[in-house]
Each structure stands twice: as C-alpha cells, then as structure tokens.
Chain A
Amino acid sequence: MLKLIGILIVVVGFVLKLDTIAVVVVAGLVTGLVGGLSFNEILTILGESFVANRYMSVFLISLPVIAVLENNGLRERAASLIGQVKAATTGKILAIYMAIRTVASALSLRLGGHVQFIRPLINPMAVGAAEAKYKRVTEEEEERIKGLSAAVENYGNFYGQNVFIASGGVLLIVGTLQELGYDVTPLEVSKGALPIAIIAVIVAAIQFFLFDRRMKGKSKL
C-alpha cells in the first residue's frame, strides 16, 4: 500500500496547484525510495527515461515557424475568414466553428482560444444570429449561448488534438504503452483517435441544434 504514496503526492500536489514539474519529480523520488530502490538507481531511471522520451517534446522544432506565422497575422487571417461565415442560426454558427476547431486541433494549428476567438468573434456571432432571428434574446438565453460558445472551444480542442501524430497526448500514450511492453507507433495511436474526433463533432452539433430548436419552439408561443 505504501507504494501508492506517489499517486497521493501527484493528486494532492495537482489539487493544491503546486508546480507540476516539481510535484511529479517528488512523487517519483518518494515512490522509488519506498519501493526499495537506491537513490542512485532512482536518478538513473529518471535520467534514462527522460533522455529516451525526448521525442515527447519534439514540438520545440515547430516553434520558430509558428512564431513567424503568428507574428505575420495567422490568427488575424483565420478570424477574418470565420467572421465571413454566413449562417442563419446560433446552432449553425457553433457547429461550423466546431468543425473548424476540430480540424485546426487535428493539424496542431494554434487557432482557437477563449480569449482570442470565443469572446471577440464566436460568441458575438452566435448571439447576433439569435437576435437577428428572434428580435428579443433574454438574459437567460444569452447566458446559455455564452456557455455553448465557451464549450465548443473545449470540445474541438480536446477531441481533435490527438489526431495530430506528434501531439503531447499521442506521444505520452506511445511512451506509457511502451513502458508496459506494448509497441505502438504514433501513427497507429493518432488513427485510433480519429473516430472520436468525428463523433465529437456530431455530438456537439446535436447539442447546438437542440438549442436552436428550443429557441424556435419558444418563439412560436
């Protein structure tokens, strides 16, 4: 049972929002010690694993080109393209953004974000569509649209990201499975993530269209 103390340290450390890197390293050291490893053995395992898993941080190589693109208006261009989308209802706008966000996430493009896209662009478009169609949007309905606008960013970001072959999630899966003796490639894992990415777009769209239907039903009263 004592060996589980490392898990306890990780849980408590993350809940208390302590520094993530330090929490994980401390959990590793303590687990090794209670597991009967010598300090030198622990250091060696730590170092061996970190060097062997350098591939999990290969995103570093892409930072210079991403910086160049972002400094030259990548996000601004994407925002102006999305802004041109003509869709009649709140649900349609959110569903279209869901599809775009999922694809961006799958390509590892940093196009998204609650600050960069949702507040200045998606939420105003979604509220605007409801206002244009139903004239009056109650405060409660606007609150609901805000919730959906914030949620679509998370849905697209989360369920799409592991389709990218070198995403942190995919490489962590590959590394963890290899440690357990299962040899898998990043390509196999990223293909395994594809069905869920597609299904998430559909499930999210259902939620958005249900909102449209409720708005429509209300306006008939």
Chain B
Amino acid sequence: MANLLLEVLFILCGLVALSASIYAFRDREHPTRFGSTLFWGLLALIFIFGPYIPKNIVGIIIIVMAVLTATRKVKVGNIRGSSEDYRQKQAEKLGNKIFIPAFMIALFAFGIAQFTDLGGLVGLGIGALAALIIGLMITRSKTTEAIEGGSNLLQQVGSSSLLPQILAALGALFNAAGVGEVIASGISRVIPQGNIVLGLIAYFAGMVLFTMIMGNAFAAFSVITVGVGGPFVLSQGADPAIIGALAMTAGYCGTLLTPMAANFNIVPAAILEMRDEYGVIKTQIPVAIAMFIIHIVVALILGF
C-alpha cells in the first residue's frame, strides 16, 4: 500500500516536472527554450516511468541532463508572478488564513509518519495535495495558476535542487568502486579503529573541513560518511539516525565559516552594504565553534 502510494507520488512529481517542460516550450522568448524543455521533460520521464525503463538507459538520460546543465542550456524563463500590489492587497484581505495551507504540509507529513505506517513521504504528498485544495479555496485561485506557478518555481530553483538525488548516485558509485575502504585504511593509520571519541571527532571535523572547502555540506556528507562516518563511528554501534543528523548539521558549522558558501556569507554582506565583505563570517565564527563542540557532546550523550 505504502509503496503503491509512493509510486503515485512520484508520478505527481513527474507531472510537475512535465508542466515545467511544457511551459518552457510554450514560452517563445525563453532564453533556453529547447534545453529547458528537454531537461525537465527527461526528469518527468524518469519520475513517471523510471521503474520500467532499463537502468542503463536511465544512466544515459542522466548524462544527457548533465551535459545540458554543463552547457548552460537550462535557465529560468520569463516569470509572470503576481504583482507586488496584488500580493500586498491579498495579504491584508486574507490575513493569517494564508498560513493554514502552509502549516498543513508539514503537519500532515509529521502526523502520517508518526501515527500510520505509510511514512513521512506519503504524508508529505497527502499534505501537499490537501494544502493545495484548501489553498485554492482560501485564495480563490484557479488550478491553472497553481500549475503554472509550480512550474515557474521549479525552473527558478533549477537543476541544482536535484543535488541530493545525484549525490546519492555518486555515493552508490563510490561504494561500488570501494572508495570508502581506501579512505578508511588511510585514516586508520592515524586513528585507531574502535576509539569512539576520536572517530566521532574525525567524522565531524571532516564534515566541517570538507564543507568549508566545497561550500556544500551535502556533497561533504556523501563523501565523509562513506569514508569516515561508516567505518569509524557507525560500525561502533552508534545510533545511525542520530549520528547522521548530527553529522549533517556539524557540516553546517563549516558552511557558516566559509566564503565558498557565497550566497549565505558573502552576498548578504553586499546586500546589507557592509564595509567588510567577511563581516558575516566573522560574526558567525564564535557560534559555529560553540555549535561544533556541542555537536560532539550531544553525539556522545544521545548517539551511543
């Protein structure tokens, strides 16, 4: 039952991608009309028919998608959102009712995960659909506005929103090639396997360091967890859910410290017209360090 609903959910996600593809195609002034049409169309194809397509063909489709993004053929089209005046007027007219659908998504996802055995993802899907119906009723919008708005939004967040999914594929290839073993054997010369505290520090510090270098905690997580987290912490009987959650946010301590995460740390300094372009990072240093130490303490208390 849960699996069937999950597959329905993926088909609905595919339809959102398909609508982005169709709107890109119908937009004659789109800067990358055919690239965007193809990219979102291929994504829709994988979402809807993925299980029935031979997997090496899916692999080729992914490479085509990567070529499209690498050659900058996937850009955002002409966005026709509502005017600022209209939004302001609606905000006054609707008042706090506008928050009801917004809260519904998260509450359904949590509630269904907690109290049924359908899982949080199906919960998210049901919540999103329920919120859509209520949202359309409250705002008196047309369904087509939701579809067009959703496809605009997908083009806006763009191809990089697929990063977790593509990183997971990288992780699978790392595993198949035995990358984890190589890192683990290198580190085990420095840190004795079996020492939980040192292993934990190496794992979290590795997350911070790699996140700082790459400016992206997600990428760091898939590399460091396979190489360090697995062999040095999780194999020592740690609670994987808690340690995994903590390792990710430990990486975010690194995000606070690095100019590589420019849109969080450098761009805001410019937006606020600060004199020091590193002013935001300097402000964040004490909190990032305190949070890092707290992460290790919390992991030792709750994770074992």
Binding site for B on A (CB under 8 A): 1, 3-4, 6-7, 10-11, 14-15, 18-22, 24-29, 31-32, 34-37, 40-51, 53-78, 80-81, 106-109, 114-115, 118-119, 123, 143-144, 146-151, 153-155, 158-159, 162, 164-166, 168-177, 179-180, 182, 184-193, 195-196, 199-200, 203-204, 207
Asked if B35 is an interface residue, CB under 8 A from chain A, the answer is no
Given contacts A64-B132, A66-B150, 4 further A-B contacts (CB under 8 A): A10-B219, A70-B87, A77-B98, A155-B256
B217: chain A residues within 8 A (beta carbon): 169
Q: When each residue 265-282 of chain B gets 1 if its CB lies under 8 Å from chain A and 0 otherwise, what string results?
A: 101110111111001101
Contact partner of B102 among A3, A35, A74, CB < 8 A?
A74
Q: When each residue 3-15 of chain B gets 1 if its CB lies under 8 Å from chain A and 0 otherwise, what string results?
A: 0001001101100
A72: chain B residues within 8 A (beta carbon): 82, 87, 90-91, 94, 98, 139, 141
Tell me the bound Cα distance from A132 to B96 in angstroms: 30
Q: When each residue 108-151 of chain B gets 1 if its CB lies under 8 Å from chain A and 0 otherwise, what string results?
A: 01100110000111011100110110011001010001111111
Nearest B residue (CB) for A170: B245
Which chain B residues numbered 244 to 269 have a C-beta less than 8 Å away from chain A? Answer: 244-249, 252, 255-256, 260, 264-265, 267-269
Minimum Cβ distance to chain A for residue B254 (Å)? 10
Contact partner of B106 among A76, A149, A164, CB < 8 A?
A164
Tell me the bound Cα distance from A7 to B224 in angstroms: 10
Asked if B208 is an interface residue, CB under 8 A from chain A, the answer is no
The 8 closest A-B pairs by CB, nearest first: A35-B177, A67-B149, A43-B59, A47-B58, A73-B91, A192-B245, A64-B150, A147-B283
Nearest A residue (CB) for B179: A3
Minimum Cβ distance to chain B for residue A54 (Å)? 5
Nearest B residue (CB) for A115: B271
Contact indicator B298/A68 (Cβ below 8 Å): no
A22: chain B residues within 8 A (beta carbon): 66-67, 69-70
Tell me the bound Cα distance from A170 to B248 in angstroms: 9
Contact indicator A144/B283 (Cβ below 8 Å): yes
B284: chain A residues within 8 A (beta carbon): 151, 154-155
Contact partner of A73 among B87, B216, B247, B256, CB < 8 A?
B87
Tell me the bound Cα distance from A77 to B88 in angstroms: 8
Sample of 27 A–B contacts (CB below 8 Å): A11-B213, A14-B216, A20-B163, A31-B170, A32-B177, A44-B56, A46-B169, A55-B10, A57-B165, A61-B9, A63-B153, A68-B139, A71-B149, A114-B267, A143-B275, A147-B274, A148-B283, A150-B283, A151-B280, A169-B164, A172-B222, A176-B222, A185-B241, A190-B110, A192-B243, A199-B298, A207-B287
Tell me the bound Cα distance from A37 to B103 in angstroms: 47
A77: chain B residues within 8 A (beta carbon): 91, 94-96, 98-99
Minimum Cβ distance to chain A for residue B187 (Å)? 12
